[in-house]
């Protein structure tokens, strides 16, 4: 067997690589969703100063390149704060923050799509702001936001391909290693691309199923 030949172990390496991407995607998506929704709730309650700070931070994150954010966290934070930041930690911080910024924008748009008359009517009937948020705003906003959120998550999965530049051994990094060893870039990058494509299609399919169930539930509840 020649050094440039593919082996069954190469398939294992590719599987491990996509596993790293998916694990980081799932973890940072959950963190980003939690933070983004929390930011949107702060905006809903109109907390002075804090709402403006969150809006500025979200604008900064969503309008700057993810690659620059990665470099800033991985190379900038250690120099500024004199702390050690591993490649995985830098990737997790960057992707979580970036996801949170876009989730915040989607959540705010979803909340603002709810008619003010519904909120005012709920307050007239004696519901607190928390009850209005939980029983009136949240179900309708979720039905509105699920489509854009699915599209965002598919994009964020693809963005994980950038983490290889700071040394995370993910699918792209392994693809680059195999490319240099086998000298067969078309085959290697086709395989890498297909794995990303299959993962993105799975996320889109699961999101579509969830959206249909949520919209059916919302329609049944008269939302």
What are the pLDDT digits (tens) for 72-110?
Answer: 999 999 988 889 999 999 999 999 999 999 999 999 998
Percentage of the chain beyond pLDDT 70 is: 95
Task: Let me know if domain 11-220 sits in CATH 3.10.129.10.
Answer: no
Q: Which pLDDT tens digit goes with each residue over 171-205?
A: 999 999 999 998 899 999 999 999 999 999 999 99
As a whole number of angstroms, the distance between CA 17 and CA 171 comes to 4
Q: Per the structure block, which two tokens stand in for 59? A: 């604008």
- For the chain, count helices (H), then strands (E): 10, 0
Q: Which residues of 3-41 are buried (b: 16+ CB within 10 A; e: fewer)?
A: eeeeeeebeeebeebbebbbebbeebbebbbebbbebbb
pTM of the model: 0.88
């Amino acid at each position: 067997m020649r050094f440039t030949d593919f082996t069954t172990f190469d398939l294992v390496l590719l599987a491990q690589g996509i596993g790293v991407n998916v694990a980081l995607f799932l973890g940072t998506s959950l963190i980003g969703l939690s933070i983004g929704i929390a930011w949107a709730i702060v905006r809903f309650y109109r907390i002075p100063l804090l709402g403006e700070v969150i809006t500025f931070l979200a604008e900064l994150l969503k309008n700057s390149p993810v690659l620059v954010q990665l470099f800033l966290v991985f190379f900038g934070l250690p120099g500024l704060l004199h702390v050690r930041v591993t490649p995985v930690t830098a990737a997790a911080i960057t992707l979580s923050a970036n996801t949170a910024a876009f989730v915040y924008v989607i959540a705010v748009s979803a909340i603002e799509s709810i008619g003010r008359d519904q909120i005012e009517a709920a307050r007239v009937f004696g519901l607190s702001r928390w009850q209005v948020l939980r029983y009136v705003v949240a179900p309708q906003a979720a039905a509105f936001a699920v489509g854009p959120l699915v599209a965002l998550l598919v994009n964020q999965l693809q963005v994980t391909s950038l983490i290889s530049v700071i040394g995370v051994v993910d699918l792209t990094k392994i693809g680059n290693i195999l490319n240099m060893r086998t000298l067969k870039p078309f085959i290697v990058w086709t395989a890498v691309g297909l794995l990303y494509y299959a993962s993105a299609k799975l996320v889109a399919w699961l999101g579509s199923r969830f959206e249909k169930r949520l919209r059916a539930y919302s329609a049944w509840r008269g939302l």
